[in-house]
Each structure stands twice: as structure tokens, then as C-alpha cells.
Amino acid sequence: MTAVKLIAREEWRMLARNRSGLIATGLLVLLILVAGFTSLESRSAIEADRTRYQASVDETFDAQPDRHPHRMVHYGQFLFRPIAPLAFFDAGVNSFTGNTIFLEGHRQNSANFAEARQSSLLLRFGQLTPAFILQTLAPLLLIFLAFASVAREKERATLKLLLAQGIGGRSLIAGKMLGHGAIALAVGLPAFALLLGFAATGAADWATVGVMIIAYACWLLLWAFASVIISALVARPRDALAILMGLWMITIILLPRALPEAASAQNQLATKIETEIALHRDLLKIGDSHDPDDPYFNDFRDEVLDRYGVRTVEELPVQYAGLVAIEGERLTTQIYADAAQRQAAREREQNAFVHTFSVLSPLIAIRQLSMTLAGSDPAAHQDFLDQSEAFRYEFVQRLNRMQAELLPEIGGEDPRISAAYWQEVPRFSYSPFNPLADRTRIIWPLLVLAGWLAALCVLALFAARRIGGVAR
């Protein structure tokens, strides 16, 4: 057996005889499992709720009586955002984004009833998901298991004894890293098994789960390696513990909280009110369909009359108001879309600012990666908003066309079209977001994690040389 393996095995034996280490590891594994199952259960409960709500609002839409189509434009449709299957593993921003959106004509409503707005401040302590445990608590466990790994040998002078047996500094560090790396992966194992089991049932695809496992493996290895290396660089276990705790606190607790403040101070988001007022102003700039002298709508009318080859609005085979509604919806949607894109771009800029600091705090990289893969990141939410907006435009325009085409035949004081038409109005069908579609969002954080591991390996070589130097 090589020296490296011998040292790794000795490390395992030592830890196996360390009662408190075993208890802590057991508790963490238990916590991962508890978090996994409760989160899975609550995800399915929420998902079932939303499916039920969606079905019931769709049903009530169909059950509406004969009406003027424009009334249905404002009766609108409610959408409930389905939760991605892997969101049980990492809830990401799901609790912070609204999950219900009301769609109607010429308005873009906000997604409402975000869980975070309805919870006490307790939510800000974190959410019990496997991702929270792996990201926040597992590094602490790995620190506790490994902080003394080399420093202990130094303090008790067994290091000199080992080196005197002809074991090189590199073998020693490699052995310790092997030992603690294996433990780190073992700690992640229950979570990985949960993910694989989930993929096996077909609820998530293998590629996503595979990348997720690789990402968390890198993350856990990173902390095991860092603990061993710091332990090798300092003289006493206490110092290693203090330094590692400091690193943990700064990279996992402090930076992720402090950076967003910097990001939002740099680049402020406009309030909904300001956006609405600006939109309203932009719309008025284009034209006012109620104003008989409005140049834009006069041009529009002339163009319509030309198209139908008639001279007056009254001669049109379709309802002119309906055509104006279609045109109005087209215009407002465009302006809304521009504003929404600007807002989304600004949010992306803010996030990108935070993401650049993943070089300093790898937590940011793993968090981003994890929620991207789980389909619970802002991009997945934005995708839902985009899909719902596309759907809104389609269903509103369908109703507007009904108004233009069907109403002239009905006529009368209070023209209504048959309720049977409501069933023709399209229903929202959500096409699940593919997290792997945009590779850059996966590759960069993975590279950051890999970069951290590579940097640690270089540092390990340095530590090995220093340790070897002690013997000479």
C-alpha cells in the first residue's frame, strides 16, 4: 500500500474513533435527508395546490356567460407558476418571486403572493433544503473534521516522526487530502443518492442531475482541501480552526449578504410606479385613439380603409374599435416589453456584479449553479414571465379579433358573443425551462469552482514543501 493511502486510511481510523465527529457527521446526513424529504413533500403540496388552482381558474374562465369580448379581456386569466421538479433540492429565489400572475389586456401586472412577503423574518435565516445544508453547513462539518489533520501532527511532534519514517511532505498532504476528500464526498452521498433517485423516476433528467452532483462534489472537496491545507500551513490546530472559521464566515455568511447591497446601491431599479407613469407617457406620445385629430390613429384608419377598399369606417366588414384594440394592444405590449427588458437587464447587471465576486466567495458560484440547475433561479422565473407575457398577448389579441370580426354581425345596444367562444381562447401551457439551454450560465460557475480547486492544489504543493522543510 502506498504511503498516501496509508495516511488516508489512518485519518479515517482516527475519525472513526472520534465520537463527536461521528455524531456531527451523522446529524448532518440526517439533516440532509430530513431537508430532502420535507422539501420534496412541501414542493409536491405546493405543486398540487397550483395545479388545482390553475384547473379551477381555467374552468371558471370557460364557464363565463355570453359577453362582449373586451369584458373577457379584462376578466383575464390567472396563471400559477409550476415549480420545477428539482426545486425541492434548491428552492432558489422561488420564495422571493411571486407565483401568481393576473393577465389582462393592456396591463402587465406583477407576479404576486411571494412566500417571503407572507412569512415572518424567520425566512431570512435560510430555507431548509438539501442545498442550504450542503452550501452552508457541510463546509463547517468538513472544517471540523479536517482542521487538525496536519496541525495536530505538528503540535504533538508526530509529524517529525512521520517524516523521519521517510514519508515526504507531498505524500503526507496528498494522503490527508485523499482522506478528507473521500469523507467530503461521503457526506454528499445521501444528497447525491436523492438526486439520482429523482432522475431514475424520470422527474429530472440525468444530465442536469449529473452536473449538479459534479458541482456539489467540487464544492465539498474545496472545503475539505482548504481545511487540510490551512491545517498544514499553521502551527497549531486552534489557529487552523480560527482561520477556517473566519473564511467560512466571510465567504458564506458575510459576502453573500454584503455584496447585494453594493450591487443595488450601484444600479437602482425603478419602482413599478415610475415605470407605469413613464409607460403611460410613452403611450400618449404615440397617439390617442379617442382623439379624432390624432395623427397616428388617423394614419392607422386610412391604412385600414385602404386595406379593405372602403371609404368610411361604417362600411368596414369588421368592427373598427376592435381593430383599434388590436393595434393598441400591439403598441402597449411593445412598450411594456421594452420596459420589462430594461428592468430585467438591470437585474441581470446587478446579479452579474455579485457573480464576479464568486472568485472571492465560491459560495456565489455554487449557489448560482445550483439554483440554475434546479430551475429555481431568476432566469427560470423570467422565462415563466416571458412565456406568460407571450401567452397574454396571444389570448388578448384573440379576443380582440373576435371583437373585430364577430361583433358587426351581432350588433345591437349590448353586443355579446356566445360563451362557447371562450373555450376557443388558448390556455396557458407551460413549457418547462431547460437549465442547460444557456451553457454559459453553467460553465462559468463550474470554471470558478474548478479554478478554486486548482488554486488549492497549487497551495497544497507549497504547503507540502514547507512541511518537508520542517524535517530538514
Partner 1 sequence: MNHSHSLWRAEASLLLRSNRNVLALILLLVLSAASVWSGIVQVQDQRATIERVEREQVRDLAAVEEANAGPEGEAGYNAYYAFMLTQDPPPPLAFAAIGQRDLQPYVLRVRALGLQSQLYDSETYNPELALPGVFDWAFVLIYLLPLVVIALGHDLVTAEREGGRLRLLLSLPGNGLWRRRVGLRYTAVLLAIGLPLIIGAMIMAAPAVSIATMILIAALYSAFWFGLAMLIGGATRASTTAAATMIGCWIILTLILPTLAQAVIARAVPVAKGVDLTLAQREVVHHGWDVPKEETFARFFVNHPEWRGQEEFEGRFHWKWYYAMHQVGDEAVAADVSAYRDSLKKRETMTKLLGYVLPGVGTMNVLHRMADTDIQGQLAYQDSIAAFHTKLRQFYYPYFFEEQAFDHSDFAMIPRYEPRSSGGTPPTEALAALAFLSLLVLALGSRRLLNAGREQGGR
The smaller minimum CB distance to partner 1, of residues 195 and 243, is found at: 243
Q: How far is the CB of 270 from partner 1 (least distance, A)?
A: 7
Residue 342 found at the interface with partner 1 (CB under 8 A): no
x/- site string to partner 1, residues 344 to 383, per CB under 8 A? ---x--xx--x----------------------xx--x--
Stretch that binds partner 1, among 134-142, 179-187, 421-429, 458-466 (CB under 8 A): 134-142
Q: Spell out the SS3 assignment of 274-287.
A: HHHHHHHHHHHHHC
Q: How far is the CB of 148 from partner 1 (least distance, A)?
A: 7
Q: Which of 102, 308, 421, 444 binds partner 1 (CB under 8 A)?
A: 102
Q: Which of 44, 60, 341, 418 binds partner 1 (CB under 8 A)?
A: 60
Residue 112 found at the interface with partner 1 (CB under 8 A): yes
- Provide the edge-to-edge strand list for the sheet that holds 107-112: 77-80, 100-104, 107-112
Instruction: Check if the beta carbon of residue 138 is closer than 8 Å to that of residue 120.
Output: no
Contacts of 295 (CB under 8 A, 6+ apart): 287
Instruction: Check if the beta carbon of residue 211 is closer than 8 Å to that of residue 86.
Output: no
Residue 97 found at the interface with partner 1 (CB under 8 A): yes
Q: How far is the CB of 264 from partner 1 (least distance, A)?
A: 6
What would the grid cell of residue 451 be? 479554478
Q: How far is the CB of 306 from partner 1 (least distance, A)?
A: 31
Residue 289 found at the interface with partner 1 (CB under 8 A): no
The smaller minimum CB distance to partner 1, of residues 62 and 303, is found at: 62
Q: How far is the CB of 414 from partner 1 (least distance, A)?
A: 6
Residue 314 found at the interface with partner 1 (CB under 8 A): no
Torsion of CA 381, 382, 384, 386, to 10 degrees: 170
Residue 20 found at the interface with partner 1 (CB under 8 A): yes
What would the grid cell of residue 213 be? 452532483
Q: Which of 88, 144, 216, 391 binds partner 1 (CB under 8 A)?
A: 144
Residue 268 found at the interface with partner 1 (CB under 8 A): yes
Instruction: Check if the beta carbon of residue 455 is closer than 8 Å to that of residue 360.
Output: no
Residue 334 found at the interface with partner 1 (CB under 8 A): no
Instruction: Check if the beta carbon of residue 163 is closer than 8 Å to that of residue 470.
Output: yes
Instruction: Check if the beta carbon of residue 393 is closer than 8 Å to that of residue 335.
Output: no
Residue 157 found at the interface with partner 1 (CB under 8 A): no
Q: How far is the CB of 265 from partner 1 (least distance, A)?
A: 6
Residue 420 found at the interface with partner 1 (CB under 8 A): no
Q: How far is the CB of 240 from partner 1 (least distance, A)?
A: 10
Residues 238 and 131: their CA atoms lie apart, in Å, by 29
Q: Is 110 helix (H, G, I), strand (E, B) or coil?
A: strand
Nearest in space to 91 (alpha carbons), one of 102, 79, 101, 99: 99
Contacts of 18 (CB under 8 A, 6+ apart): none
Q: Which of 3, 33, 128, 193 binds partner 1 (CB under 8 A)?
A: 128
Q: How far is the CB of 71 from partner 1 (least distance, A)?
A: 6
Instruction: Check if the beta carbon of residue 61 is closer than 8 Å to that of residue 428.
Output: no
Residue 444 found at the interface with partner 1 (CB under 8 A): no
Q: How far is the CB of 333 from partner 1 (least distance, A)?
A: 19
Q: Is 208 helix (H, G, I), strand (E, B) or coil?
A: helix
What would the grid cell of residue 360 be? 472571492
Residue 74 found at the interface with partner 1 (CB under 8 A): yes
63 phi and psi angles, rounded to 5 deg: -85, 0
Helix (H) or strand (E) holding 448: helix 440-471
Q: If you search the block for the grid coordinates 379617442, which residue do you land on?
A: 290
Stretch that binds partner 1, among 10-18, 31-39, 216-224, 303-311 (CB under 8 A): 31-39
Instruction: Check if the beta carbon of residue 354 is closer than 8 Å to that of residue 263.
Output: yes
x/- site string to partner 1, residues 174 to 213, per CB under 8 A? ----------------------------------------
Q: Which of 1, 121, 164, 420 binds partner 1 (CB under 8 A)?
A: 121
Q: Which of 18, 343, 387, 397 binds partner 1 (CB under 8 A)?
A: 343
Residue 287 found at the interface with partner 1 (CB under 8 A): no
Residue 156 found at the interface with partner 1 (CB under 8 A): no
Q: Which of 157, 164, 273, 420 binds partner 1 (CB under 8 A)?
A: 273
Fill in the DSSP letter of residue 165: T
Q: Which of 33, 189, 242, 459 binds partner 1 (CB under 8 A)?
A: 242
Helices first, then strands: H and E counts in the chain: 18, 3
Residue 137 found at the interface with partner 1 (CB under 8 A): yes
Q: If you search the block for the grid coordinates 461521503, which residue do you land on?
A: 186
Residue 269 found at the interface with partner 1 (CB under 8 A): yes
Burial class (CB in 10 A: 0-12, 13-18, 19+), 345: exposed
Query: Which positions from 398 through 417 interact with partner 1, judged by CB under 8 A?
Result: 413-414
Nearest in space to 88 (alpha carbons), one of 185, 212, 221: 212
